[in-house]
Structure 1
Amino acid sequence: MLRALLVLSLLLVTATAQATIYRWVNAQGDVVFSDTPPPNGKAQKLELNHPLDTIQTPQQPLSPPPGLAPGNGNQRSAYRALTITSPANNQAIRANNGDITVSLNLMPALMPGDRIRLFMDGAQVYSGTSTQIPLHNVDRGSHTLYAAVEGRAGGIAIRSPGVTFSVLRHSVLFNPGQSPTNGATSNASGAANQAPRAPMMPRAPQFHAPN
């Protein structure tokens, strides 16, 4: 009986367009339901007065991907590229006063409310909206740079690759015109020419008493 009820349920589900179901008992004594009559035509005809109604399941709105929630970093995909074009990677810059200019390439242009941040040796050295950033009194030696764009709602929208550069500055500890002999210059024979001495005062004549 349970099997027959299961078959009937399946037929009712698929009988949206049909309105007639046939019921009969087969040779094994099982009750059979079908939308077509048996070959011998001996079956009870069940008329469906109302076709089955279908219920539409409401669709759930898709959640935005992480990091693209409205009002929080929704412009992460807006920036395609951010690079440091000057100084170039591994470039040595002669700047005796330590003043250099960092140039950025941002595509597309900075959007309203966003800010550019520049970091040198891990510390922030600039925050603003310009892609031409002057740096003053940069120490001699090697340094690393990277830039980032901060969205108006917070969070980093894009970050540039890192760049390493060196600053060459004149040092007061090195004077090319000074020799290692504390200011004395060497002549052709290799001897050091000392500064001229002041003339010695003449000695008073000495008189010896007669014996």
Structure 2
Amino acid sequence: MRRLLLSIATLLLSLNTAYVVAEIYKTVDKNGHVTYTDTPPPNTSAKPVELKSLNTTPGVTTSGNYEMSNISYEAPGYSLSLVAPENGKTLMPNERSVTISVNINPVLQDGDLLVFKLDGKPVMKTDETVYELVEPPRGEHSITVSVVNSEGKELAQSEAATIFVMRPPIKHQQAPVPKK
């Protein structure tokens, strides 16, 4: 019984508030601060504000005969450029990593990824524009970055940057020969 009365009271209150139209009042204090309220403050010269009606646009109806096969997705024409490393960079023996950074325009679309490559072989596939290549082998290497779609098709590729990695040679010591 209590729930029924509570439900009826809630219904009556919601119906009653639907028909209430509140005035909005604007007041300006001595410091120039503007306040809007639905009840005029006492001892002030509050002025009712005339609210303009909202502009609305009716929704668009469709015929329902729309087939998904009519949608054609055209891959965006990506523009890629390597920001780092600069072409000809030498990685000294105490430097253990190189940052690869790419500038891409437009931003990657859903499903497209960047593929960071060292000597043409993928080392990382990600949606991030920066990758830290750790401990590249010594010698001369070519770095490129490509954009591939979800099927693995290459959509764009950056120009190559050449890096030189200096590493000290590893000297293998001869195993001691036992004396007779």
TM-score of the two chains, using structure 1 as the length reference: 0.43
CA distance in 2, matches of 1:155, 1:76: 13
- Select the structure of larger CA radius of gyration: 1
Find the partner of 2:164 among 163, 166, 171: 166
Q: 1:118: Cα distance to partner?
A: 1.2
Q: 1:101: Cα distance to partner?
A: 1.3
CA distance in 1, matches of 2:95, 2:158: 27
CA distance in 1, matches of 2:155, 2:143: 18
- For the aligned residue pairs, the C-alpha RMSD in angstroms reads 2.1
Task: Report what 1:44 is aligned to.
Answer: none
Find the partner of 1:110 among 108, 111, 115: 108
Give, as a single letter, the amino acid of the residue that structure 2 aligns with 1:150: V
Any unmatched runs of 5+ in structure 2?
A: 1-70, 172-180
Alignment of 1:195-210 (within 5 A): none
Task: Report what 1:141 is aligned to.
Answer: 139
TM-score of the two chains, using structure 2 as the length reference: 0.50
CA distance in 1, matches of 2:141, 2:126: 21
User: What are the superposed Cα offsets for residues 135-162 of structure 1, whole Å, 9 maximum, x if unpaired?
Assistant: 1111111100111101235422211111
User: What are the superposed Cα offsets for residues 15-52 of structure 1, whole Å, 9 maximum, x if unpaired?
Assistant: xxxxxxxxxxxxxxxxxxxxxxxxxxxxxxxxxxxxxx
RCO comparison, higher one (Cα < 8 Å, 6+): 2
Task: Report what 2:72 is aligned to.
Answer: 70
- Paired residues, number: 101
Q: 1:85: Cα distance to partner?
A: 1.3
Alignment of 1:39-58 (within 5 A): none
Alignment of 1:1-211 (within 5 A): 70-71=72-73, 74-77=74-77, 79=78, 81-96=79-94, 98-171=96-169, 173=171
Give, as a single letter, the amino acid of the residue that structure 2 aligns with 1:166: F
Q: Percent identity?
A: 26
Q: 1:86: Cα distance to partner?
A: 0.9
Any unmatched runs of 5+ in structure 1?
A: 1-68, 174-211
Which is helix-richer, 1 or 2?
Answer: 2
